[in-house]
Structure 1
């Protein structure tokens, strides 16, 4: 089975705007998704990127226009300046890692998207334990996963960053299939075509 290493942060608006299209592509092509949440600010620092707050005003303005247009195009409501952004993405990332380690019983795609949606469409703080528990439960997982295996999750979170750098990942969301890399939710169709052997 072909594996997609999905490097992302639930704090990214473009992770949110990807919706559940990755999961649809995986179902269509028989691919496996390995969810690899990471610290995107550290990734920027390691790969020459600039955090949004430090970008030139022209770039910041364009980013907001892109977000608004994409939200309308994709039918996804989005608050361009959410109340709880930026926030600490680690607790949400740890929950995703814990849920993936726990195996079956829930929908990892719904969890990853639900946490991003909480930030970008629901004005909720994804660093808040109560929010994380609720999204876990809504996605079919035990809410207690928010508090289980934190040390192991933190170690995996760090490894995800190192693996991303080694795989030439420099942003989020990023999709890696072997040596082929796809940056951004706007490259999901290219990923689909690649998995089908068409490009």
Structure 2
């Protein structure tokens, strides 16, 4: 059975636009998923990327056009200027890590809830009340927001190291663990689907 390591940043618009396609692909092929939230700004620094604040205006203008086009294409509402962006990714990432460890809820729903919070709901996903509400909505104990903060921080840092070692440099990024085959971007999910099908 294939296993996919899913690296992403909770403030990533491209991870938001991926929706639940990864989960549907994995279910179709009997693959499992490990969710690995990372600090994208540190990942960019480590792998030769450029933080959005430092990118040339022409790149940011094109990014906005692409986000608008993909939002329309996928029917996913997206605010190009969200109220809380950039946002500290650590609190939401810790919650995802704690929820993955605890089990029993809808982990993909939680991940997508945080992403949707930034890009479609103008929610501050670093705010404790928002985190608790997202945990509860996905069927997890809201108190996970306060539990395992040390483990969350440790795992969050380890995810960054593992991402760099695996050749990850952006979000969303999908790595098939056994083969090391890598897919960068929500627009590469069809290729991941084909790969898992043996095509």
How high is the TM-score relative to the length of structure 2? Answer: 0.98
Partner of 2:123: 124
Aligned residue for 1:186, secondary structure, equals helix
Tell me how far 1:53 sits from its aligned partner. 1.5
Question: How does 1:21-170 map onto structure 2 within 5 Å?
Answer: 21-103=21-103, 105-170=104-169
Q: Give secondary structure in 1 for the equivalent of 2:81.
A: coil
Point out where structure 1 has 5 or more consecutive residues left out of the alignment. Answer: none
The residue aligned with 2:197 is: 196
Matched residues in 1 for 2:46 and 2:92: separation? 22
Q: Distance in 1 between matches of 2:28 and 2:117?
A: 27
Instruction: Write out per-residue CA displacement over residues 24-62 of structure 1, whole angstroms, 9 at most, x where no aligned residue.
Output: 111111100000000010000000000111111000000
Query: Number of residue pairs matched?
Result: 197
Gaps in structure 2 of 5+ consecutive residues? none
Q: Secondary structure at the match of 2:82?
A: coil
SS at match of 1:35: strand
| Separation (CA, whole Å) in 1 of partners of 2:117 and 2:156 | 21
The separation in 2 between residues aligned to 1:126 and 1:66, in whole angstroms, is 24
Measured in 1, the distance between the counterparts of 2:123 and 2:68 equals 19
Structure 1 runs, 4 residues or longer, greater than 6 Å off: none
CA distance in 2, matches of 1:138, 1:24: 20
Aligned-pair CA distance for 1:193? 0.7
Distance across 1 between alignment mates of 2:2 and 2:139 = 25
- Corresponding residue for 1:19? 19
Cα distance, 1:189 vs. partner? 0.6
SS in 1 for 2:183: strand
Structure 2 residue matching 1:165: 3-state secondary structure: helix
**TM-score w.r.t. length of structure 1:** 0.98
Distance 2:196 2:136 in 1: 32
Residues in 2 aligned to 1:121 and 1:96: alpha-carbon distance in whole angstroms: 19
The match for 2:185 is 184
Tell me the C-alpha RMSD between the 2 structures.
Answer: 0.6
